[in-house]
Amino acid sequence: MTYRVLCITDKSDLPETELFIGLKNTGVDIEVMCNPDGKHYGRLRQSGVPAIDLVLKNRLDFAGVRRIKAQLKIKSYDILYCFNNPAAATALMASRGEPCKIITYRGVAGNVGFLSPGSWMTHLHPRVKRIVCVSNSVKSYFLSLHFLWFRLNPQKPVTIYKGHDLSWYGDPPADLNQFGIPNNAFVIGFAGRNRPNRGLNYIVDAAKLLPEDAPIHFLFLGKLTDDMKLRQQIDQSPYRDRIHLAGFRNDAPAIAGACDTFILPSVFKEGLSRAVIEAMAYGTPPIVTNIGGHPELVIHNESGLVVPPKDPAAISAAILDFYHDPAKKKRLGENARIRIKTRFNIKSTVADTRRLFEEVLSSPSG
């Protein structure tokens, strides 16, 4: 089956970019409208995927609507695949009256509902045939939505994991001495912003429960240095001199690869963490909470450790489990790497996406 697909996104990340390239390489007639300032824009063009510049400001970007509408006049597409809310809203407006079928993407659970006007402009719009969910937890969230007798068509949300490739993580693990961390330290990594759902405060609380004489250090990556509440919490910790704020880093995966374990103690709305996947790809065993897509990604005591949310004691116990058992840490790290290779790989994402396209196009109702 041959078909024409227009993908609409913003600054495409690496897994998204490689999905577009993989679809093209398997014979899909694909074009991408995206932000030319994206880090991987050059990679997209070099691989022969037609890229059309588009910068959307919000869901009501009427200049963007006109730009998409103009593209639809140039070429007829079978599918519009929209990767964020502005893309979905503008594409739905631009394609009114067109025969193409609409697919949207959702990477987090939450902020969608039958009483939300914005949701009807995107995922809940009647013309959206499928919602690609990054994890089963996101899919379950959509299936749980209801208002009176209204419920989502159970065929509408589908799970397709956002795949990676171990070859993307070929840089050697970073030297952690640059952060003032000694060679003999046991290092716990974290990457991301201090959003309410990330549970970063529980890591700092867990540090209070660790032996003060243990050579354990924490390395936090992300835009955290201006977070006064976090800094105050760290200043009150007995581990304050061993909690390092490294700021935003382009080499975050290689830094995670140099850590002994990587932790993300999310408390809600976690889709499928890219930071955890990157750490696992380097063979760094993760510690995560049983929230959202974490249990799908990490099998407890097999490819990492899964703990309850909002539980500093469980976090500290998991840290000490790896600290006192290097063989277990190594074994689970190797299993984590294998799990990314076999279960969360880009080839599977490409194949699953193609199957979805063909399913939507072969069904009269989508």
Q: Give me the residues paired with residue 304 across strands.
A: 300
Domains of the chain: 4-163+345-362 (3.40.50.2000), 166-343 (3.40.50.2000)
Q: What DSSP string describes 8-62? A: E-SS--HHHHHHHHHHHHTT-EEEEEE-TTSTTHHHHHHTT--EEE----STT-H
Rounded to the nearest 5 degrees, what angle is found at the Cα of 293, between the Cα atoms of 298 and 6? 120
Q: Is pLDDT at 365 greater than 80 in this prediction?
A: no
Cα 334 to Cα 53, 56, 188, 304, 330: the distances in Å are 41, 41, 17, 10, 6
The backbone region for 304, taken as left when phi is positive above 0, alpha when psi lies in -120 to 50, beta otherwise, is left
Q: Is pLDDT at 47 greater than 90 in this prediction?
A: yes
Lowest-pLDDT range, 13-27, 80-94, 124-138, 185-199?
A: 185-199
Average pLDDT of every residue of the chain: 96
Maximum Cα interatomic distance, the chain, rounded to a whole number of Å:
69
**Per-residue pLDDT, 260:** 99
**pLDDT tens-digit map of 63-114:** 999 999 999 999 999 999 999 999 999 999 999 999 999 999 999 999 999 9
Q: Is pLDDT at 193 greater than 90 in this prediction?
A: no
**pLDDT tens-digit map of 286-333:** 999 999 999 999 999 999 999 999 999 999 999 999 999 999 999 999
